Amino acid sequence: MTLQICVAQLNFVVGDLAGNARRIIEAAQQALAGGAQLLLTPELALCGYAAEDLFLRPAFIDACDDALNEIVRASEGLAGLTLVVGHPARLTDGSQASRRERSVTVPDLFNAASVIRDGRIVHTYAKRELPNYQVFDERRYFAPGDKPCVFELQDAGGQTVKVGLLICEDAWFDRPAREAKAAGAQMLAVINASPFHAGKGQERESTMRERAQAVGLPLVYAHLVGGQDEIVFEGRSFVLDASGQLAGRAISFEETLFPIRFESRGHSWLPVADTDRPHSAEADLWHALVLGVRDYVGKNGFPSAVLGLSGGIDSALVLAIAVDALGKDRVRAVMMPSPYTADISWIDARDMAARLGVCYDEIAIASEFEAFKGSLAPLFEGRAEDTTEENLQARIRGTLLMALSNKFGSIVLTTGNKSEMATGYCTLYGDMAGGFAVIKDVVKTQVFRLARWRNAHDPYGTGANPIPERIITRPPSAELRPDQRDQDSLPEYDVLDAIIERYMENDRSPAEIVAEGYSQADVDKVVRLIRLNEYKRRQAPIGIRVTHRSFGKDWRYPITSRYRA
């Protein structure tokens, strides 16, 4: 006896209710044609994850209900197939009073999944464990469910199978799986929206292994793929057998309908599926950045992207990511030399643009720089040049890039890395001006590693070795004054990044970091810069989260604060 399950590892779009419903119906038709008895869609597939405060709008929930009804109607023509669809569901206790009359902080929704077949909803399960840490805010919108959900299916030979349904965070806790087993489940189906960060894939698989082992049941992990604002979902759905061993894994960072066959062994079920090998850490990171750019640009309707190409490593890396994400014909690079731009910066910028075949322009900014200084000269009389003039150059470039954005509809990709975002080594309304900050969660030492990795690999066939070697080997400089080096004002990048990782990502205290061997002076300087530059980060564009703590939704510090440690 065999049971066939199909995981719809698809890239849903937040708020595209009709489009998402259509994709679920198409996936169901394909799954049925392929012999499946069960189609699993990811968490909140119908409305997309994360719909955030759209969940507070009654009309949005009405529209979700309408889209769900479309799927229910379509299931009449899908005899033999059961669908599990993630969607928001209103509480059924009649407490649908207007939010204006009640406190808006009382959630009146469930994060739910409905089991649908033959034109009706057979069960609706409400997620029991609601994550409220890192990027998650589920308790703002949802009330927790309190019951397990076990539904029955017939396999190809008519044998009954009992499936315990869980939603993402449920499976990171013990109780929901145990109660599903106690209610008769013979396997667990977990539908998910679990954002990518470095190392998350392994963490997820090992947590699910513990879960499967704890209850002695096979577990299907059905996952989302795609970028949504700052978050990327990596796909990589999988299935474990009852001993927690991996029995199959879907491709990462791509859509797929992932088929899993379960063979009956008495009362238990043995999963069989193809297994895709996981990528290296650098490859994962690269794919996450590419998907993040592709989906942000694509889902927000930009025809193309533009960026300032300086001959330095950050803009070089962003250009390579953008070309992998969008193709060379949708990316434009602009070199904007100032009086401090070294010859090698021009040469390397031209070289890189030619290697990738992107549209490349040069706009000298010396005359604008002189004009600004001339206008300010009477007011600045008697004052020495300082960062004011450095920032003017960055702001002229920002203005030119935004003009190109306005004229051609291209989004400006900013190029600041996490080390710069941490320390404020960037200019407001200058190099921070733009729509999407591609590498804002990638520290500088990782920028170098990624550049080397990309030169050695060509994952999207856009050309090997796109970054001229000298861009990687020359000392980083903002080129905003003569002979400037980043290390004139910042500690060496390996020290800087280590302190950022400890203080910002892992909440270590300055004393603990010093105890690990970092100098008091370096730690004090970096911590002070991180604290002082909160105001800049609040004005920065969003960018792709690739660590377990980025300067985004999972970093909410006060700007006005007297706390110093």
Ligand X SMILES: Nc1ncnc2c1ncn2[C@@H]1O[C@H](COP(=O)(O)OP(=O)(O)OP(=O)(O)O)[C@@H](O)[C@H]1O
Ligand Y SMILES: NC(=O)CC[C@H](N)C(=O)O
Ligand Z SMILES: Nc1ncnc2c1ncn2[C@@H]1O[C@H](COP(=O)(O)OP(=O)(O)OC[C@H]2O[C@@H]([n+]3cccc(C(=O)O)c3)[C@H](O)[C@@H]2O)[C@@H](O)[C@H]1O
| Active-site residue list | 43, 127, 168
38 labelled ligand-binding: no
Residue 96 binds what, of ligand Z, ligand Y, ligand X, none (CB under 5 to 8 Å, by partner type)?
A: none
Contact between 425 and ligand Z (CB under 6 A)?
yes
The amino acid occupying position 189 is A
309 labelled ligand-binding: yes
Instruction: Choose, by CB under 6 A, the member of 227, 271, 337, 466 that binds ligand X.
Output: 337
Question: Taking a C-beta distance cutoff of 8 angstroms, is the pair 398, 539 a contact?
Answer: no
Q: Using CA atoms, how far apart are residues 506 and 554, in angstroms rounded to an integer? A: 12
Q: Which residues contact 234 (CB under 8 A, 6 or more apart)?
A: 196, 200, 201, 223, 225, 252, 253, 284, 287, 288, 291
Positive or negative: CA dihedral 333, 334, 340, 345 = positive
112 versus 320: smaller Cβ distance to ligand Y: 112
108 versus 431: smaller Cβ distance to ligand Z: 431
State the nearest-atom distance from the C-beta of 492 to ligand X, in Å: 15
Q: Which of 297, 121, 280 is nearest to 226 (CA)?
A: 297
CA distances from 434 to 301, 316, 415, 539 (A): 16, 17, 9, 11
Contact between 428 and ligand Z (CB under 6 A)?
yes
129 versus 420: smaller Cβ distance to ligand X: 420
Instruction: Choose, by CB under 6 A, the member of 170, 390, 441, 554 that binds ligand Z.
Output: 390
111 versus 533: smaller Cβ distance to ligand Z: 533
**How many CA atoms lie less than 13 Å away from 18 in the CB half-sphere?**
0
Q: Which of 109, 325, 113 is nearest to 232 (CA)?
A: 325
Residue 391 binds what, of ligand X, ligand Y, ligand Z, none (CB under 5 to 8 Å, by partner type)?
A: ligand Z
Instruction: Choose, by CB under 6 A, the member of 69, 387, 487, 520 that binds ligand Z.
Output: 387
Question: Taking a C-beta distance cutoff of 8 angstroms, is the pair 350, 360 a contact?
Answer: yes
Residue 309 binds what, of ligand Y, ligand Z, ligand X, none (CB under 5 to 8 Å, by partner type)?
A: ligand X
506 versus 520: smaller Cβ distance to ligand Y: 506
162 labelled ligand-binding: no
Instruction: Choose, by CB under 6 A, the member of 149, 426, 433, 437 that binds ligand Z.
Output: 426
Contact between 424 and ligand Z (CB under 6 A)?
yes
Contact between 141 and ligand Y (CB under 6 A)?
no
E-only strand ranges, 217-370:
219-222, 225-228, 231-234, 238-240, 246-249, 256-265, 268-272, 305-308, 331-335, 359-362
Q: Using CA atoms, how far apart are residues 108 and 91, in angstroms rounded to an integer? A: 6
Angle CA(477)–CA(536)–CA(199) in degrees, nearest 5? Answer: 75
441 labelled ligand-binding: no
Residue 147 DSSP class: S
- β-strand 246-249 against 238-240: which pairing, if any? antiparallel
Of 34-42, 60-68, 258-266, 417-425: span binding ligand Z (CB under 6 A):
417-425
Site string for ligand Z, 192-211 (x = CB under 6 A): --------------------
E-only strand ranges, 108-235:
109-117, 120-126, 150-154, 160-167, 187-191, 219-222, 225-228, 231-234
430 versus 491: smaller Cβ distance to ligand Z: 430
- Please give the residues from 6 up to 65 whose contact with ligand Y meets the rule CB under 6 A: 43
Q: Using CA atoms, how far apart are residues 18 and 182, in angstroms rounded to an integer? A: 37
State the nearest-atom distance from the C-beta of 43 to ligand Y, in Å: 6
Residue 46 DSSP class: T
Contact between 194 and ligand Y (CB under 6 A)?
yes
State the nearest-atom distance from the C-beta of 544 to ligand Z, in Å: 18
Contact between 168 and ligand Y (CB under 6 A)?
yes
Annotated binding site for L-glutamine: 133, 194, 200
Name the residues that contact ligand Y, by CB under 6 A: 43, 131, 168-169, 172, 193-195, 204
Name the residues that contact ligand X, by CB under 6 A: 307-310, 312-315, 334-337, 341, 397, 415, 420, 431, 476, 478-479
Annotated binding site: 133, 194, 200, 308-315, 391, 415, 420, 536
Annotated binding site for deamido-NAD(+): 391, 420, 536
